């Protein structure tokens, strides 16, 4: 694809920052979504290229609409912003925590996607990449997946986070079906366990965030004849829903 305009939510650190870096390095214009503008500005300065910080808190409808008003044209939306929670099984989950996680990981994706759809509809090659998680795979939870995508937590733990990513997967599929005739490619990525602030469990043992980010960039730059409505691992293999 030619030079594209991309927005990555939660781009001031972690996997999102690496997605932004790789897109900028490839010559694309990148809006670095950041709920704290100064953090986005710092990341944009560090990455360089054609990067611009954009204040966007995905849980704040006003912030989302203000951000959309500043981006009239968009080719790539990466819904990356996400939070994890405390690892509890569903019987012990506190509903306020569950709501907070769904507010960011699910409702935030609805809000941002719908707000930026008019700009994406002006693109000749619109792409949406939802950063999900292998832990959101129901097949993995049911023990039906072997190998690297086998559930790393074969229990009911991280119930709020994992069910939010399951919901995000379904949302990916529903957007993909809805927008297919308009040329959109809407796919979900399992970036793999990465060393970021998100999850203390993988803070030391996880892989390089840049490797997971590369999987998102591949989906962001899919050619027109590529499939839509897929759940893919960072290495391009299909993850069972």
51-110 positions binding ligand NAP, by CB under 6 A: 56-59, 80-83, 104, 108
* Nearest CB to ligand NAP, comparing residues 2 and 197: 197
CB of 213 to ligand NAP, least distance (A): 9
153-212 positions binding ligand NAP, by CB under 6 A: 191, 193-194, 196-199, 202, 206
112-151 positions binding ligand NAP, by CB under 6 A: 131, 133
Do 32 and 53 contact (CB within 8 A), yes or no? yes
Q: Give the whole-angstrom CA distance, residue 136 versus residue 211.
A: 20
Do 167 and 140 contact (CB within 8 A), yes or no? no
Nearest to 153 by CA among 169, 168, 136, 166: 136
Do 79 and 33 contact (CB within 8 A), yes or no? no
Which tokens go with 152? 């790393």
Interface residue with ligand NAP among 6, 7, 9, 98 (CB under 6 A) is: 9
CB of 225 to ligand NAP, least distance (A): 28
23-62 positions binding ligand NAP, by CB under 6 A: 35-36, 39, 56-59
Q: Give the whole-angstrom CA distance, residue 131 versus residue 128.
A: 10
Active-site residue, selected from the candidate residues 17, 165, 175, 185: 165
CB of 15 to ligand NAP, least distance (A): 4
Q: Which residues have C-beta within 8 Å of that of residue 68, sequence separation ≥ 6?
A: 115, 116, 118, 119
Q: Quick check: is 175 catalytic?
A: no
Interface residue with ligand NAP among 16, 85, 126, 229 (CB under 6 A) is: 16
Q: Which residues have C-beta within 8 Å of that of residue 25, sequence separation ≥ 6?
A: 49
Q: Quick check: is 165 catalytic?
A: yes
Question: What is the size of the binding site for ligand NAP (CB under 6 A)?
Answer: 31
Active-site amino acid positions: 161, 165
């Amino acid at each position: 694809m030619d030079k594209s305009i991309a927005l990555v939510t939660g781009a001031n650190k972690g996997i999102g920052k690496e997605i932004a870096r790789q897109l900028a390095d490839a010559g694309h214009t990148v809006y670095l979504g950041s709920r704290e503008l100064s953090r986005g500005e710092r990341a944009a300065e560090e990455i360089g290229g054609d990067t611009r910080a954009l204040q966007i808190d995905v849980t704040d409808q006003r912030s989302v609409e203000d951000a959309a008003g500043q981006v009239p044209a968009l080719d790539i939306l990466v819904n990356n912003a996400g939070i994890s929670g405390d690892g509890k099984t569903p019987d012990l989950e506190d509903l306020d925590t569950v709501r907070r996680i769904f507010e960011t990981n699910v409702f935030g994706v609805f809000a941002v996607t719908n707000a930026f759809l008019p700009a994406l509809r002006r693109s000749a090659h619109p792409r949406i990449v939802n950063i999900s998680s292998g832990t959101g795979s129901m097949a993995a939870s049911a023990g039906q997946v072997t190998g690297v995508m086998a559930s790393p937590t074969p229990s009911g733990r991280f119930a709020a986070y994992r069910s939010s990513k399951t919901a995000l997967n379904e949302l990916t599929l529903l957007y993909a079906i809805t927008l297919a005739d308009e040329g959109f490619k809407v796919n979900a990525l399992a970036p793999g366990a990465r060393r970021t602030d998100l999850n203390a469990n993988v803070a030391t043992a996880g892989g390089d965030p840049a490797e997971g980010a590369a999987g998102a960039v591949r989906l962001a730059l899919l050619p027109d004849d590529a499939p839509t409505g897929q759940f893919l691992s960072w290495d391009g293999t299909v993850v069972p829903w």
